[in-house]
Structure 1
Amino acid sequence: MQTSLTDEHVEQKRAIANRVKTIVAIALSAVIIVSFFFPYIRFVFRDTSYPLTGLQLATVRGMMVYGPQMSGLVTIPLLTRIAVIAGVVLALAGIVLLLVRKPVWAGVAYILAGVTPLVSLITTSNIQTAVTSLNISEIEIQYLWPFLCTLAFGIAGAILSLWTQGTERLAQSIFKVFSCVSVGSVAVITIYIIVSGAPALAEIGVGNFLFGTEWEASSEIFGILPMILSSIVGTIGAIIIGVPVGLLTAIFLSETANPILAKIVRPAVELLAGIPSVIYGFFGMLVIVPAIRTFPPFQGHTTGDSLLAAIIILAIMVLPTIVNVSETALRAVPVSYREASLALGATPTTTIFKVTVPAAKSGILSGVILGVGRAIGETMAVIMVAGNVPNMPRLLGSVRFLTTGIAMEMSYSTGLHRQALFAIGLVLFVFIMIVNISFTYISKKGVQMDAN
């Protein structure tokens, strides 16, 4: 009888605690809904201030901005409108779901409501771009308490809703949420890049943009074919040099190295991974570029700032990634594979290249994929050694990569020019996605062939 009373008392306490959590979650979502009618974001353009409520962000067409030389109507981005409205609708949905005792779905609604301010944060940068095109540099965007409430209370409401299912369910839900962060980040970045870059592609024309051979921002001529080809050739060149060197280094460290020598080589490789890009750029500018310029066969044919210099510096930069990942994959191969090969009479070298490396090829390919990503995305070091002229790629000629084109001109770009730079980012994003998908397909195909 005593045990029964104790269990009943525990259940009552748990029910009261869950009721309190539900009431607090509903109260927080009510604050989110009410905050929709209070100033959400304040835009300050020179001496003009526009404090806009969530309702105004969703309904008004835009803001009239007056500059020293020109003025115009700056419209509210569609995604900003959708995000603000979605925050309120999802908070209301969370209340309804809690009342009908669907706490898990309520938690999902609250999480999505908490994400909507981040979407607003990203999309309002388009307003800054539009105002900059009016020759107004004094721009300030202030995110007020309703913005912060939606972000904080949405997450808090999700935690409270899921907590009513018990601590274990809350922990599982938190793990799932954080596991989805990477997917959500990719989705948000993808949407932002598409929204920012698509207008330029529509105005310039996809064909003219992708296959045009001239880039003259002052004349609004935007062709990025030289940059695309330079990026592709530079990445392929870096991989052709870096992969054999990195793979053989990994084989040396995992299979044949003397322990004392390995203790010297491994920290040196790890040190390469920690060196900032700008240091690589300085090294390339002060050592590689002069070496190319003074190399007897090249004298008089190049200034040193060239595609070749970019390939060499990128090949050095991808080495740590390829070496570390490949070494880990090689060490993961079971010792029994090596012993079986040696027992059948194979030499150690034959065992390495016929047994160990094929068994570890999935991990090695992952290292190559990461190396390709590092080479494609590198900016600072390439800026310092490539010459930065949008020419068609020549080994000894100055070139400009996609990444360097964005970095060099984004700070002063406005209007169509700025949108074209975002379109370059979109092309670069698609390019990287194609590379990753291709490597993943090749890796899975190789695993299936081995299984067969």
Structure 2
Amino acid sequence: MNSAENALKIQKKNNVKKGLAIVLGLISVLAFFLPYIQFVFKNTTYVVSAFQLATIRGFRVHGPALSGLVTIPFLTRISVVAGVLLPIAGIVLLFLKRPVMAGTAFVLSGITPLIVLITTSSIQTAVTQLNISKISIAYLWPSIYMLAGGIVCAILSIWTQGTEKLAESIFLVFSCVSVGSVILITVYIFAAGSPAILQIGLGQFLFGRTWNAEAGVFGILPLILSSIAGTVGAILLGVPVGILTAVFLAETAKPRLARLVHPAIELLAGIPSVIYGFFGMLVIVPAIRSFPPFRNHTIGDSLLASILILAIMVLPTIVSVTETSLKAVPQAYREASLALGATPTATIFKVSIPAAKSGILAGVILGVGRAIGETMAVIMVAGNVANMPSILGTVRLLTTGIAMEMSYASGLHRQALFTIGLVLFVFIMIVNISFTYISKKGVQMDAE
């Protein structure tokens, strides 16, 4: 009797959750026809619903000198339509007693406002081409509700299967958030960077040696080669120093001395990029300029200064990850090596470091990412002229090119900067894939 009562009570609770999910889903459907987003282009305001975003052709915008029709991106239209179809699908699935599938549909409906947020940035870019600088985009409560409502409906739907199933689903959703974020960023970068390549030409853009936005000439070969040279130089200097420092902390340092070195490494990791830039501008650049062999050959702002400052900045990451990896090597490995007659130094370089090489490689990958992506410090020491790289010459890296010009760029110039971001993104992907392949290859060779 008690079990039957408990089952009936659980069934009532599940019916309440299901009913609440259906009601909230219906409100999401209703929100499709309510004011969804507000565009303000100078003195003109458009308040449109999701239905209008999906059906109207675009906005007639009048600029100081130019006027035109700003069309709504196709992906925006698809997103807002999905934002109403997915809650309907979720409701139908609940009636068909498919709560997990319904929860999936509701989660996807909650993602659609985020896609709209990303894709409508192209509207802002199109309006800036009409010489309109006063632009604002405000997302109204229906769009916010569709985001929150989709998540709440998904939780209620899956909750009807029990707390354990809900917990598993939440873990799955959060694990998918990371993957979804990468996918969204990738789609956005490719969507934003492709138009400039189509207009300029892939060969001209990648292998052109001149960057002159005023003349409409966009060639980024000097930026690519400077970024590669700066990253390689920083790794060549930073990796040996970082690994040997980690070996000292993990293998040979006395506890008292290690307690002094550790805070210094942690402090390096916490220093803001702009402080590194000030240090480079006030110390490294004058030192290069006054160094006797370099005197009269450089103004100090150079590729060499960029390499030195980046080498310092990658140290904390490499040291921290490498030290952790070395400490994770079983003590039995060291004891066996010493028992066979190897010296402590030989044990470090022939046993400990090879055993920890996967972790060391991970630290190097993170260091490469830090070197490639650094902007502020490099801006202050590189000279920021798009020259072909020379060790004592002024250079401009990919990241600094974007940061310096994005604030005032418009039209094709702005699209070209997005394309630089696309090139940088692909570059980082190639580096990560290459390191991953090398790491797996090393593991397979060890296994054989």
CA positional deviation for 1:18: 0.7
Is 1:275 the counterpart of 2:274? The answer is no
Partner of 2:341: 345
CA distance in structure 1 between the aligned counterparts of 2:412 and 2:137, rounded to whole angstroms: 22
CA positional deviation for 1:373: 0.3
1:64 alignment partner, SS class? strand
Partner of 2:30: 34
Is 1:156 the counterpart of 2:144? The answer is no
Partner of 1:98: 94
CA distance in structure 2 between the aligned counterparts of 1:229 and 1:288, rounded to whole angstroms: 22
Partner of 1:116: 112
2:187 to 185, 191, 195: 191
Q: How does 1:35-184 map to 2 (within 5 A)?
A: 35-184=31-180
Is 1:201 the counterpart of 2:222? The answer is no
1:381 to 377, 384, 387: 377
2:413 to 399, 413, 417: 417
1:248 to 210, 232, 244: 244
Q: How does 1:253-264 map to 2 (within 5 A)?
A: 253-264=249-260
CA positional deviation for 1:122: 1.1
Partner of 2:327: 331
CA positional deviation for 1:59: 1.4
CA distance in structure 1 between the aligned counterparts of 2:425 and 2:399, rounded to whole angstroms: 11
Q: Which residues of structure 1 form unaligned runs of 5+?
A: none
Partner of 1:360: 356
Partner of 1:284: 280
CA distance in structure 2 between the aligned counterparts of 1:381 and 1:155, rounded to whole angstroms: 40
One-letter amino acid of the counterpart of residue 377, structure 2 = A
One-letter amino acid of the counterpart of residue 186, structure 1 = V
1:10 to 6, 9, 13: 6
CA distance in structure 2 between the aligned counterparts of 1:247 and 1:113, rounded to whole angstroms: 47
Deviations 1:98-126 (A, max 9, x none): 11111111111111110110111111111
CA distance in structure 2 between the aligned counterparts of 1:324 and 1:142, rounded to whole angstroms: 43
2:318 to 311, 322, 330: 322
One-letter amino acid of the counterpart of residue 33, structure 1 = V
CA positional deviation for 1:137: 1.2
Q: How does 1:225-244 map to 2 (within 5 A)?
A: 225-244=221-240
CA positional deviation for 1:442: 0.5
Deviations 1:207-242 (A, max 9, x none): 000000000001111000000000001000000000
1:218 alignment partner, SS class? coil
Partner of 1:217: 213
Partner of 1:450: 446
| Structure 1 range deviating more: 389-398 or 20-29 | 20-29
Q: Which residues of structure 2 form unaligned runs of 5+?
A: none
CA positional deviation for 1:92: 1.1
CA distance in structure 2 between the aligned counterparts of 1:350 and 1:180, rounded to whole angstroms: 45
Partner of 1:438: 434
CA distance in structure 2 between the aligned counterparts of 1:38 and 1:220, rounded to whole angstroms: 43
CA positional deviation for 1:448: 0.9
Is 1:390 the counterpart of 2:386? The answer is yes
Q: How much identity, in percent, do the aligned residues show?
A: 71
1:219 alignment partner, SS class? coil
CA distance in structure 1 between the aligned counterparts of 2:195 and 2:24, rounded to whole angstroms: 38
CA distance in structure 1 between the aligned counterparts of 2:159 and 2:374, rounded to whole angstroms: 44
CA distance in structure 2 between the aligned counterparts of 1:56 and 1:121, rounded to whole angstroms: 16
CA distance in structure 1 between the aligned counterparts of 2:440 and 2:11, rounded to whole angstroms: 50
CA distance in structure 2 between the aligned counterparts of 1:448 and 1:89, rounded to whole angstroms: 48
CA distance in structure 1 between the aligned counterparts of 2:82 and 2:221, rounded to whole angstroms: 40
TM-score scaled by structure 1? Answer: 0.98
CA positional deviation for 1:33: 1.0
